[in-house]
């Protein structure tokens, strides 16, 4: 499944559908409305396509970004929210104000990937400190030589996700030490294909987004090896380096959140989530993300069956958490 095709074929219709079709128990044709992360979108869309074919239940999947998706979810407009970072305190409070509880379900891993233009022959790797120098709030870096004196005199053009993106939140937490703390003078978009086009079209381009979008466009872009703090060697993002824990600090879990006030107990939503978890190992890999281990999927499925609501993060961003440890934290 090609991401460009996914987004071009009916994306507008999908987004409009999310606004037009909230889940209604008495509707003649039931619709499960989903919105949120553009990163998680290809996984959920792949599951939705298969589920619709097998059951006839209509599923709409929109892309408002993680933050935009939570706004709709906490207003009761969607039954499931795709998220590339955990729910934040302000979103927890918004859901509580509207009487909405939720079940937090990790469904895959991702590796935030730093990318450069194919013509960039100098930045094979970047340290976390160099990335911070580029992306920190108030940064004045505008040329590659400002990052490292060994780099050429080449103007730098930056591309990245917008402020409603969970990818933005996770990257800024991991690299700048505080979620949403970032320079703002860059080309921002919730559409990762816009970022791909931007970086691939500018020799001095630099950007970041999920691993799957890099793999889909690796003929146009370079992936940059990241040198973690206290390390001397850069590590490239891959399924292997995510699973062995060496790609740090930009490995992260991806989530779906299910409305536990209503959705978790509805037969169609329940069937969809169970289909999602049962088929995630295969479909996650098909769309070029990193599946959880079989033990982690078993733990997530057990957690789903328990219908325990809440978040293991307590509304605070966190880098490097393990799935099984996360589930153990969630309280009724």
DSSP character string of 119-134 = T--S-SEEEHHHHHHH
Q: Is the pLDDT of residue 325 over 90?
A: no
Mean pLDDT of the 303-325 span: 82
Domain 3-109+253-329's class?
Answer: alpha beta
The residue with tokens 């991702």 is 110
- What pLDDT score does 114 carry? 98
Q: Is the pLDDT of residue 14 over 90?
A: no
Mean pLDDT of the 214-235 span: 94
Mean pLDDT of the 52-65 span: 94
Residues 167, 210: Cα–Cα separation, whole Å: 8
**Domain ranges for the chain:** 3-109+253-329, 113-243
Residues 152, 289: Cα–Cα separation, whole Å: 34
* Each residue's pLDDT tens digit, 173-196: 999 999 899 999 999 998 889 999
The residue with tokens 């006839």 is 56
Q: Is the pLDDT of residue 28 over 60?
A: no
CATH number of 113-243: 3.40.190.10
DSSP codes, 6-45: HHHTTHHHHHHHHHH----TT-SS-EEEEEE-TTTHHHHH
* 285: number of Cβ within 10 Å: 13
Which tokens sit at 278? 């049962």
19 pLDDT band, cuts 50/70/90, is very low
Q: Is the pLDDT of residue 11 over 80?
A: no
- The rounded radius of gyration (Å) of the Cα atoms in the chain is 19
3-state helix vs strand vs coil in the chain, percent to 5: 40, 20, 40
- What pLDDT score does 330 carry? 63
Q: Is the pLDDT of residue 261 over 60?
A: yes
Lowest model confidence (mean pLDDT) among 51-55, 225-229, 325-329: 325-329
Residues 105, 87: Cα–Cα separation, whole Å: 11
Which tokens sit at 234? 């850069």
* Each residue's pLDDT tens digit, 80-93: 999 999 999 999 99
Residues 165, 179: Cα–Cα separation, whole Å: 11
Rounded mean pLDDT of the chain?
88
Residues 174, 92: Cα–Cα separation, whole Å: 22
pTM of the entire predicted model: 0.82
Which tokens sit at 160? 């990245």
Q: Is the pLDDT of residue 200 over 70?
A: yes
Equal CATH topology for 3-109+253-329 and 113-243: yes
The strand ranges marked E within 29-154 are 31-36, 58-61, 80-83, 102-111, 113-117, 125-127
195 contact partners, CB below 8 Å, separation of at least 6: 159, 160, 161, 187, 189, 207, 209, 213
Q: Is the pLDDT of residue 8 over 90?
A: no
Which tokens sit at 246? 């060496």
Residues 324, 283: Cα–Cα separation, whole Å: 21
Say if residues 183 and 139 touch (Cβ distance below 8 Å). Answer: yes
Give Cα separations from 99 to 73, 74, 312 (angstroms).
11, 9, 19
């Amino acid at each position: 499944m090609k991401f460009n095709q996914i987004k071009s074929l009916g994306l507008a219709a999908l987004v409009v559908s999310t606004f037009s079709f909230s889940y209604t128990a008495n509707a003649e044709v039931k619709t499960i409305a989903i919105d949120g992360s553009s990163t998680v979108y290809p996984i959920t869309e792949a599951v939705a396509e298969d589920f619709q074919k097998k059951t006839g239940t209509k599923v709409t999947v929109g892309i408002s970004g993680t933050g935009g998706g939570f706004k709709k979810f906490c207003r009761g407009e969607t039954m499931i929210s795709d998220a590339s970072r955990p729910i934040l305190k302000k979103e927890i409070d918004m859901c509580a104000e509207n009487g909405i509880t939720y079940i937090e379900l990790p469904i895959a891993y991702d590796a935030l990937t730093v990318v450069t233009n194919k013509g960039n022959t100098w930045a094979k790797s970047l340290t976390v400190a160099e990335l911070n120098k580029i992306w920190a709030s108030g940064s004045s870096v505008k040329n590659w030589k400002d990052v490292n004196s060994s780099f050429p005199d080449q103007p730098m053009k930056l591309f990245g996700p917008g402020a409603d993106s969970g990818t933005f939140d996770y990257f800024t937490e991991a690299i700048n030490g505080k979620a949403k703390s970032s320079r703002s003078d860059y080309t921002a978009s919730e559409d990762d294909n816009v970022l791909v086009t931007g970086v691939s079209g500018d020799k001095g381009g630099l950007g970041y987004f999920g691993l799957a979008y890099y793999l889909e466009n690796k003929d146009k872009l370079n992936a940059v090896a990241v040198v973690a703090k206290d390390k001397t060697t850069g590590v490239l993002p891959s399924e292997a380096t995510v699973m062995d824990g060496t790609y740090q600090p930009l490995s992260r879990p991806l989530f779906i959140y299910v409305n536990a006030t209503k959705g978790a107990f509805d037969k169609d939503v329940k069937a969809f989530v169970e289909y999602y978890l049962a088929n995630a190992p295969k479909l996650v890999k098909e769309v070029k993300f990193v599946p959880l281990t079989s033990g982690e999927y078993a733990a997530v499925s057990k957690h789903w069956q328990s219908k325990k609501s809440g978040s293991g993060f307590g509304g605070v961003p966190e880098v490097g958490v393990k799935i099984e440890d996360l589930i153990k934290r969630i309280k009724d």
